[in-house]
Amino acid sequence: MKNVFLAAAMAATTTAFAAADLTNGDFSNGTEGWNQFGGAEGPYGVDFFGGSSAVVAYGDFSGTPNYSGFAQDLGFFGDYSAGDTINFGGQMYIESGKELYGDNNCNIQLNFWYGDGTAYGFTIFAGTVNANSATDVVQSFDFSFTLDQGAADATRISFDFSYVQASIPPTGVESGAAWGTNFYANIVPAPGAMALLGMAGLAGRRRRD
C-alpha cells in the first residue's frame, strides 16, 4: 500500500515541476527563445539598464489596435496546475521625446490561450507604461499570479512584452516607443505539491535506511 501511495504522490507532482523558467530574459544571447512581432527591434546595447541588452517596441500607422513586441511560451497544458503561482516581471524605459501618444501603452504580461493554443483567453499584467509614465527612468515591475482552475486549463501560457497602439497620432507626431529587458517568469508549484514531493522523498530515504 505504501508503494502505491508513493507512486501516486510522485505522479501528482511530476506535472507541477515540469515547467522551465523564461529563457534569455536579458537578451544576452540575442533573440534566442523569443518570437518578434509587429514593429519591434533589437536587441541593442543601451546604457539604460546597467549593461543589459534591450529590445524596443513602438507604434506605427497601420491601424488600431496594432501590436508589436516580443513573446515567449512559458508553458503548455500539463506544465502547471491550479494553485501554482507564476512570478514574472521585468524592466521598461521610455526616452524623453519618445513618449507614448494618446491611449498607447506597453505592457509586461502573461497571455492565456485555449483550444489549439491560438484562441485568446485573458491577460494578466505585471506592469504598464503609457502617456503618463515618467521618461528617462528605469521602471521595474514584479507580480505574482496564482492559477485558478480556469487558468490552469489554458492550452498555452505566453510571456509578452507588448506595445499596444490604440491611438494613431497626427502626421509628424511620435506614436511612442518603449524599451524592455531583464524579463523573468517562473512557475512555482502550489505548497501542497511541494509538501507531497517532500513526503515521497522522505519515505524513499526511510526505505533505503
**CATH of span 2-208:** 2.60.120.260
pLDDT tens over the chain, length 209 residues: 333 333 333 333 333 343 458 999 999 999 999 999 998 999 999 999 998 999 999 987 677 899 999 999 999 999 999 999 999 999 999 999 999 999 999 999 999 999 999 999 999 999 999 999 999 999 999 999 999 999 999 999 999 999 999 999 888 888 899 999 999 999 999 986 554 455 445 444 445 55
Residue 193 confidence (pLDDT): 56
Residue 101 makes CB contacts below 8 A (sequence gap 6+) with 59, 131, 167, 169, 173, 174, 175, 176
Per domain, the residue ranges of the chain are 2-208
Residue 60 confidence (pLDDT): 72
Residue 47 burial by CB count (10 A; 0-12/13-18/19+): exposed, middle or buried?
exposed
Residue 39 confidence (pLDDT): 85
CA dist., res. 153 & res. 176, Å (int): 36
Q: In what order do the strands lie in the sheet containing 156-165?
A: 35-37, 66-76, 156-165, 105-114, 119-129
CB atoms within 10 A of CB 14: 12
